[in-house]
Amino acid sequence: MTTPTRAAVDVVVVGSGSGGKMVAQQLAGAGRRVVLVERGYVGGFCPFLACVPAKSLLLSARAELSWVAARAVRDEAASHRDDSGAAAQLSGDGVEVVRGSATRVAPGVVEVDLHSGGHRVVEAAHVVVGTGSASVRPPLPGLDGAATWTSEEALSAADLPDRLVVLGGGPVAVELAQAYRGLGSEVTLVQRGPHLLSREPSWVGGVLADALTADGVDVRTGDPAVEVVDGGLRLESGAVLGFDRLLLATGRAPVTGGFGFPDDWLTEAGALRTDARCRVVGDDGPVEGLFAVGDVTGVSDYTHTANHQARTVVAELLGRGRDADYSAIPRAVYTDPTVFCVGATSGARSARFEVRQVERADLVELSRRREVTGAVELFVDDAGVLVGAACVGPDADSWGAELALAVRARLDVDLLWHHVRAFPTWSEAIFPALEELHGASAP
C-alpha cells in the first residue's frame, strides 16, 4: 500500500447528490478551494436512478408511450446513467472531483480509497457530509432467492416485467406502481399498514388507492407480506401473489456506515444529527467544522430539502449564516392525481373540500372524459394561522405551492380568505375550505 497523498483545501464534500453538489459548486463559485468525493454517480441518485427517471416514466405512462419508447425517454432523461457530463460541469465550476470511497470522515479530514487505486487524505477547514440514503431490504423470509428490484433497479431496468409486485406504500411505491401499470405491467401493491402514504391524512391514501385501482393496480392494504414462497409472495391473509419482479420500496436509511461516527452524533434512526445551521451535533453541541446535508440528516428525503440545507451551509461558510427552515417543506408525490402536502396535517382544526366541485373539474371532465378526484384539506392552529395542507388532484404540485408559502409565511385564515383566486383554476378548491374555517358564510 502506497502512502496516502495529502492535500489541504477549504472544503471537502463527501457525496455529490443534489445537496453536496450545490455546496461544492456555490463555494467554488465564491472562490473557495473545494474537493468533492463521490464513490458512485457524480450528481447522486436523483438524476440517474431516482427522481428524474421516476417522473419520466410517470409522464410517459400518462402520455401513453409504449414501454420501449418510455424506456428510451427515461434513459435520455437520466443521461443514460452517464455521469461524465455532471463531473465535467463540476470541474468547469472549479470543483475538484475525486472518485473514490471515503473510508474516514472527521472534522478537518477525509480519507479516500480511490477508484483509480491508492489512497488519498484530504484535509480541509470544513467537511460537508452528503452521503445520502440507501434502500432498506425488509427482513422477509425467502427473499434471498427471489427476483427482487430496488427502486434504483426498477428505474434502470431493461425489461418490463409481466407481473410486478410492489412492496411498500410510500411515495416511491405508489409512483412506480402507477408508472409500471401505465406502461403495461400487471401490478399488485402490498402495503402493510391500513392506507397508502401512511404519514399523511388517511383520506389522501384513500384517494390514491382509488386512483390506482381505477388504473388497474391491485391495491392490498392492511395485509402484510409474510414470506416469499415458491410461486410468489405470501401475505398474512394467506393470499399468494405471483410475480416476475418484486419491487422492494419499504423505505430508505441514511448512509453513515464505515465512517466511525460516534453514537452521540447519530439519531435513533441512524441519521447524522444536525442543528439549524446544518452543523453536525453531538451531546456537547456542534462539532467544529463538520456539516451534513441531504438524506443523511434524516430531515426529509427530498432533493429540495437537500438544496435548502446546501444553501444554509453555503451561507454559513460565507459568513452570512441563517437557520434552515423546515416548516414548509413540500411533500410531493407525482402520481395522477398528484399529492402535495406541507406542514402539519394532523392535530389541528381542519376543513376539506373536494376538487371535483370546482368549475375547472367540470371542464376537464367534459373535454377529456376523465374523472377528476382529490381534495384539499387545510389545517390551522388556535390563532387561525395555516400550519399545514394536504392537496390531492390534477396539478396539485403546482396549485398546492400557494399553501406551502402560506405555511412558511405563517399567514392566517383571514388573509387567505380575503385573497382572490382566479376563475376557473384548481386553486378555487382552496376557498371553500377557507370559508369553512373562517366562518365567513355565517350571517
Closest CA to 178 of 33, 368, 338: 338
Q: Scanning residues 183 to 242, which ones bind a copy of itself (CB under 8 A)?
A: none
33 binds a copy of itself (CB under 8 A): no
Q: Which of 286, 307, 321, 349 binds a copy of itself (CB under 8 A)?
A: 307
Nine cell digits for residue 118: 491508492
Q: What is the DSSP letter of 117?
A: S
Q: How far apart are CA 390 and CA 233, in angstroms?
A: 33
67 binds a copy of itself (CB under 8 A): no
Shortest separation between residue 306's beta carbon and a copy of itself, angstroms: 9
443 binds a copy of itself (CB under 8 A): yes
Q: Scanning residues 355 to 414, which ones bind a copy of itself (CB under 8 A)?
A: 359-360, 362-364, 366-368, 395, 397-399, 401-402, 404-406, 408-409, 411
Closest CA to 141 of 253, 233, 279, 57: 233
Q: Which of 21, 49, 60, 379 binds a copy of itself (CB under 8 A)?
A: 60
Q: Scanning residues 336 to 355, which ones bind a copy of itself (CB under 8 A)?
A: 340
Shortest separation between residue 123's beta carbon and a copy of itself, angstroms: 23
Shortest separation between residue 386's beta carbon and a copy of itself, angstroms: 11
Closest CA to 129 of 16, 213, 270: 16
Q: How far apart are CA 183 and CA 422, in angstroms?
A: 35
Q: What residue type is assigned to position 15 of the chain?
A: G
Alpha-carbon torsion angle 117, 123, 126, 127, nearest 10: 30
Taking the least distance from each CB to a copy of itself, the nearer of 148 and 303 is: 303
Q: Which of 301, 427, 429, 433 binds a copy of itself (CB under 8 A)?
A: 427
N- to C-terminal Cα distance for the chain?
83
Instruction: Identify whether the C-beta of residue 23 lies closer than 8 Å to the C-beta of residue 314.
Output: yes
Q: What is the DSSP letter of 414?
A: H
149 binds a copy of itself (CB under 8 A): no
34 binds a copy of itself (CB under 8 A): no
335 CB-contact burial (10 Å; exposed 0-12 / middle 13-18 / buried 19+): buried
Taking the least distance from each CB to a copy of itself, the nearer of 147 and 423 is: 423
Q: What residue type is assigned to position 275 of the chain?
A: D
Binding site for a copy of itself (CB under 8 A): 18, 26, 29-31, 46, 51-52, 55-56, 59-60, 62-63, 65, 70, 73, 76-77, 302-305, 307-308, 311, 315, 318, 322, 325, 328-330, 332, 340, 359-360, 362-364, 366-368, 395, 397-399, 401-402, 404-406, 408-409, 411, 415-416, 418-427, 440-441, 443
